Structure 1
Amino acid sequence: DTDSIRPSQHLYTNQTQPYFRAPHIYVATPARFFPGRKVLSDEEARLIEVHPKYYNDTSDAALMTSRGGLLYQRFHLEALLRPGIGANNWVSRSNYPVLGWVQTSPHEMSFYTNQDYGQPTAHLHRYVFRLDGLSSVRAGDHPGIWVSKPLVRSGNHLFLNASTSASGFLRIELMDEDGEPIEGYAGDHAMEWIGNEVQRPYRWKRGPMIELDEERPIRMKIHLKDADLFALRFGRRNS
């Protein structure tokens, strides 16, 4: 990202692992290290008893994804995790993520980082995210539209992990691979989905079942207002 062989950031311990909810996608949480970016004064460092070698730099955590091979994507260049409040969080090599994500409730997942590196108080800390909540398709009060690539389904129901406000919504129209609306699944047939659930079926006026050949590629035209779409999947009603 600098038009040279020298990157703008140091990424360490990439912690790449298949995402447990969609193992064809690899999720990486590298530590992002900034050598020489000193935050603490010598007196602040003395008060937290950090090792003299470990307060001349700072670090946080980033997010990358991959579909395998040698290529990673960084759709969000901001930090996944910012250092916390307090001098103890602004030392070298603190905030380094541990490998992997763990589902810790039906609607949340957690990851762990080292904290207070080089200090007597060094420990691991757990951070909680919504299930699938690393990214989303989002629209504010001004409605937006997102159109998918052509997809081949495995299942005749569409399940959403999404969140809306009381005034927000999602509406999903189905189109063929050329972008033409599919009768019975587009226009006024697409109903508003309102709520906050990690897995709830989407319904058209004709019902939740998609009565189309599963091998027929389709596109989704998703209308959003004051809403986040975190994940979607096709499946059977009881899957």
Structure 2
Amino acid sequence: MIEINHVTKNYDQNKTAVSQLDLSVPDGKIIGFLGPNGAGKSTTIKMITGILPIDEGSITINGHNISENPIEAKRSFGYVPDHPDQFLRLKGLEYLHFIGDMYDVPKDVRQDKIDRITKTFGIYDVLNDTIQTYSHGMRQKIVITGVLLHDPDVWILDEPLTGLDPKSSYAVKEMMREHAAKGKTVFFSTHVLEVVEQLCDEVAIIQEGTLQFYGTMEAMREKYQSDETLEHIFLELTEYE
């Protein structure tokens, strides 16, 4: 579970990226996090993961405050950034073993998962190449493999499907469904609204740093008295029409 309480982030005196955000992300559900460019999505995710400090409010992950107990909080989640450009000089296999060591994944369990997941993603044969030689999609796959390797309770994914081929995209969506079905948490941002409609239990929409809506698609249609697609409602809600 992720609890975001009255969170604010200011970049300077004239720019508030996130304002008094309250959001409770429950266990056992897939939550889609939506908003136009510059709405505060990535800033929010970076505060959840401890990359950016919180100016006001608090964020807890599985009961661990990300500001006060960052190590405990970070051990409980896996994070896939929108630009997976870290550890580029490591070989793919070196990166996965590094993640395994960081999270104390047993060697026998680790190797089985590495073999199985990388074969599913079609990157098994390039594990001995450096990550800097990978395409964006391949980098995305190696980072997702790292998250799956230590199997955290909470998945925080920033545009996880970008650059993935159809087979890998399908596999990730199935993994997200399976993770939520185990009573665990999936929180992800995306611009692909069709995926949100197909996959998510609930949707959170942010605009100019404030939460505009949080709930199910059925609740959204009822609130806005519309039978339109999520795309249509989203465009109306964010005043992009």
Structure having greater relative contact order (Cα 8 Å, sep ≥ 6): 2
Which structure has the highest strand share of the two? 1
Considering fraction of residues, name the structure with more helix: 2
